[in-house]
Structure 1
């Protein structure tokens, strides 16, 4: 290799592509799952405490938790590519 040649990227056999696809799939699944789990916990608390509004708080809590985890995964994947 001469100094003028750019360094060649090593061939990883497509593993890098599979890892990126897995991360994108994980990001796409986290938010709906978090909202569903928050709703489910809210419904359970509604029945246990004989209320009719806690499921809304559960949905909001699940959405916030899903967004936080999504942003963490996006930030981590940005660091991996640099």
Structure 2
């Protein structure tokens, strides 16, 4: 007697090669955690490099410049990651990249 699964198979996802929705949500969560960690780390790295240069050159202003540079570079990276996280389509929608590829194939 053949086994019949009580849950119907999703025909649209089976052949498309896309990741399961559980894995997609974990990837999205990892990207958001990366955004949360990136800004403080960039700020600390900038301050640390500035402090090290201050100690070598016997100055007091390079640490502040390193701190500001770290915050600015962290914000740029956070904005890039946030924009990339917002580009992912919801289930059943196509990404802008997929739409542009379809338009190119239709033109040819």
Could you state the TM-score of these two structures normalised by the residue count of structure 1? 0.83
Cα 1:74–1:18 shift into 2, 3 Å: same
Give the CA RMSD over aligned residues.
Answer: 1.8
Residue 3 (structure 1) aligns with: none
Cα 1:9–1:25 shift into 2, 3 Å: farther
- The reply on whether 1:25 has 2:33 as its aligned counterpart is yes
Which protein is bigger by CA-based radius of gyration? 2
Residue 47 (structure 1) aligns with: 55
- Where do 5+ consecutive residues of structure 2 fail to align? 1-10, 14-18, 90-94, 96-108
Q: 1:1-80 residue pairs with structure 2 within 5 A?
A: 10=13, 12=20, 14-80=22-88
Could you state the TM-score of these two structures normalised by the residue count of structure 2? 0.64
Length, aligned pairs only: 75
Larger RCO (CA under 8 A, 6+ residues apart): 1
Higher share of residues assigned helix: 1
- Where do 5+ consecutive residues of structure 1 fail to align? 1-7
Q: CA deviation at 1:41?
A: 0.2
